[in-house]
Chains A and B, each alone.
Chain A
Amino acid sequence: MAGRTVYDKIWDDHAVAERGDGMTILYVDRHLLHEVTSPQAFEGLALAGRELWRRSANLATPDHNVPTTNRAAGIDGIDDPIAKEQVVVLDANCRRYGVRQFEMTDVRQGIVHVIGPEQGATLPGMTIVCGDSHTSTHGAFAALAHGIGTSEVEHVLATQCLAQRKSRNMRILAEGELNLGVSAKDMVLAIIRRVGTAGATGHAIEYAGSAVRALTMEGRMTLCNMSIEAGGRAGLVAVDDTTVDYVRGRPFAPVGATWDEAEAYWRTLVSDDDAVFDEEIVLNAAEIGPQVTWGTSPELVLGIDEEVPAAHFFEDASKRELCERALEYMDLKPGTPIASLPVDRVFIGSCTNGRIEDFRAAAQVLDGRKVARNVVQAMAVPGSGLVKRQAEAEGLDSVFKAAGFEWRDPGCSMCLAMNADRLYPGERSAATSNRNFEGRQGYRGRTHLVSPAMAAAAAVAGHFTDVREML
């Protein structure tokens, strides 16, 4: 038998049965829920008269539309009555079905992809799904994790399974060492530029190579998080000491003899030497500099020392058209150095870059510096209440506030602007989130994706700039 990839192994360990129609019934170990994509699923479950299959598999928290101010007021602090109803309905559904929830006022509340790993509810080898495309984040733990739609949320609630076809295997090998000031975010943006926004469609990605091994768990989460921006539903990293050390001691992690048994299993979650990948892409990590997206697709990426391209730069007709639309929407002229673009708002946070190391990296740049006058707002939004508490214990909040940043409460915030945190028409942001689509951060807003250190540098300079010159 040919060797197996990590993805193959997890798949094999969760395949329940063939459904008889070409689909495999795949068992789901962990199901994460939030307020936006779950109400219709719970309603469907009730309408069909079905029961929740396994209560303890589920963990819920409101994150997408919660405000990032005045959180002590709880649900009453949500001004938007429609958003409020969603949070009320999540509370009601969790109570009705006995699902564990970190409610708005709980210090453990946060972005669903931050709290899973933080709590140890994300464990190696698990199948993990959530009605959110950035569920790929959890793949950092050698878990098979991907986003699902609301019908599939209902399917998991009712059956603890998904009906699936197996994906193909893709390996992205990043060898060498990242330079100082260059992070996992820069690495993943460079990967998406290379692979393209649909390049990994139909594939489960395994990130490997010395540059990936050298990343912390938080860096690996940033990397896996944006797999979907390359078209891959799932992205993962094999288990090593870094994985095991991170998980040990977390509230949901096993202890004692069960831990030993679990660890022994987790250590098998590496791809066999003779495993076959359908696609392979190799990058030299040492060649990656700080990255900035310039357009309205995450594949439209530049190094900080590059210039906005002209449409004729692209050979492919549809790429040329995409580029022309992006130039117009972003109000850019070909040949403009990306470093010359002024920034109106800065957003540090999201499931991509809302963890403690992200705030440390930004604070290192901000320490002793001020946000530039032309920047109308700079926001730091911790990914969870516990990230916020940790940052405050380290005094990072003081650094952010002294620099002129707003220090907010946890949530998805301006990544998708479902709450009050947003760009206004024509404004340009430096954002540590994951999508630069038209209107993503606010109607007619213009988003440039960067790392936390690069966002901090842009806040200080008032325009994009090479953070390496500030370290």
Chain B
Amino acid sequence: MTPFVRHTGLAAPLDRANVDTDQIIPKQFLKSIRRTGFGDNLFDAWRYQDEGDIGQNPNERRIDHDFVLNLPRYADASILLARANFGCGSSREHAVWALLEYGFRCVIAPSFADIFFTNAQKNGLLLIVLQDEVVAHLFAKAQGEGLTLTVDLPTQTLSGGGTDVRFNIAPERKRLLVEGLDDIGLTLHHADAIRAFEAKHRARMPWIFEEPA
């Protein structure tokens, strides 16, 4: 996983609550067996005026020029401001892959859905939860004169546009992101404990381990 330590970037305001992962990456792109190739189809039904399908050339499609990410002023955005319950719905990790590949390193919102939250963490996409009022302030700045933010994960600070706030993050999430650790490797450090547990579990609940012929 790519470590996340410090990042400075332009913030784009996506002013909608309950953005579900079907909107972040629609179903037709889930047919891919790869982890890449999703960036051009991030928010596909909102970014384009035609129906998207896998393998299209994005330059030949009709753009919805009113959609926030298509506004020239946000073309280089790498921090997404979002509203409550961002990433709800389907568990598709493709949503996180699409955000990263598009160029977002960080999403800031008042709240996130549980599965999306975990998926983001596993891929080094930093999610920052801030209070409604703080997010509202950032939205006003980003929609007004524009907002460039600096996220410093070791010190858990977010600064820029007259804002200087400390955000909360669980210590284990922070360490995984800052050090870019291999999550599976961390668990496998406990392989002996897993094997011991499994043997005990099998003795106690043998039916879990049985399978029909």
Query: Which A residues have a C-beta under 8 Å from some C-beta of B?
Result: 14, 16-17, 19, 21-23, 25, 27, 29-30, 36-37, 39-40, 43, 48, 50, 53-54, 56, 64-65, 80, 82-83, 85-86, 89, 100, 123, 125-126, 131-133, 146-152, 154-155, 158-161, 163, 165, 197-198, 201-202, 228, 231, 233, 251-254, 258-259, 261-262, 265, 297, 318-319, 321-322, 325, 416-418, 425, 435, 437-440, 443-444
Report whether A89 and B22 are in contact in the complex, using a CB–CB cutoff of 8 Å. no
The answer to whether B17 touches A252 (Cβ under 8 A) is no
29 pairs of residues in contact across A and B, judged by CB atoms under 8 Å: A14-B201, A16-B193, A19-B186, A19-B187, A25-B187, A25-B190, A39-B33, A80-B31, A82-B55, A133-B90, A146-B115, A147-B91, A148-B118, A159-B184, A159-B191, A161-B187, A202-B114, A231-B85, A233-B115, A318-B84, A416-B22, A416-B90, A418-B27, A425-B51, A435-B22, A438-B22, A439-B23, A440-B22, A444-B45
| CB neighbours of A233 from chain B (8 A) | 114-115
Say yes or no: A125-B22 contact (C-beta < 8 A), given A19-B187, A163-B183.
Answer: no
- Interface residues of B, count at CB 8 A: 63
Residue B141, interface by CB 8 Å: no
Q: How far is the CB of B35 from chain A (nearest CB, A)?
A: 5
Contact stretch, chosen from B57-65, B70-78, B145-153, B205-213: B205-213
> With A19-B186, A325-B16 given, is the CB distance from A197 to B88 under 8 Å?
yes
Q: Which residue of A lies closest to B26 (CB)?
A: A439
Chain B contacts for A163, CB-based, 8 A: 183, 186-187
Residues of B within 8 A of A48 (CB): 184
Nearest-Cβ distance from residue A295 to partner chain B, whole angstroms? 10
Q: B152-193: which residues lie under 8 A (CB-CB) from chain A?
A: 170-172, 175-176, 183-184, 186-188, 190-191, 193
Report the separation of the CA atoms of residues A64 and B209 in the bound assembly, to the nearest whole angstrom. Answer: 27
Given known pairs A197-B18, A258-B207, the reply for A27 and B194 (CB within 8 Å) is: yes
What residues of A have a CB within 8 angstroms of the CB of B184 in the complex?
A: 48, 50, 154-155, 158-159
A444–B46 Cα distance when bound, in Å, is: 11
Q: What is the interface of chain A mostly: helix, strand, loop, or mixed?
A: loop
Contact between B118 and A201 (Cβ–Cβ < 8 Å)?
A: no
| Bound-state Cα–Cα, A148 to B93, Å | 9
Shortest beta-carbon distance from B122 to chain A in Å: 4
Docked-complex contact A443 and B45, CB < 8 angstroms: yes
Are A318 and B83 interface neighbours, CB within 8 A? yes
- What separation, in Å, do the CA atoms of A151 and B32 have in the docked complex? 16
Complex Cα spacing A417 to B89, Å: 15
